[in-house]
Amino acid sequence: MVAPMTVPGIQMLDYAVMIGVSLLLLPFLMTGLRLGRLEGCILLAAYVSYLFVLWPK
């Protein structure tokens, strides 16, 4: 019925990033339920950093 889902290709880093970004969004959205330029730039920088870590060397 209910069992943990296993998805090949998702690593612990991906889970940590998903949880971290979700927690990062909470204070951003508590300040008026809108993302401003500063918050958008912070999220974009986090995304670019994440892609840089994942990029094969």
Percent of the chain at pLDDT above 90?
Answer: 37
The reply to whether 12 falls in a domain is: no
Q: How many CA atoms lie within 13 A of 18 on its CB side?
A: 6
Rounded distance between C-alpha atoms, residue 16 and residue 47, angstroms: 13
Please count the structural domains in the chain. 1
Confidence of residue 16 (pLDDT cuts 50, 70, 90): very high
Task: Tell me how crowded residue 45 is: count the other CB atoms within 10 A of its CB.
Answer: 10
The reply to whether 17 falls in a domain is: no
The reply to whether 16 falls in a domain is: no
The reply to whether 40 falls in a domain is: yes
The reply to whether 43 falls in a domain is: yes
* Domain extent at residue 36: 27-57
The reply to whether 10 falls in a domain is: no
The reply to whether 48 falls in a domain is: yes
Which of 56, 48, 57 has its CA nearest to residue 17? 48
Residue 36's pLDDT is: 87
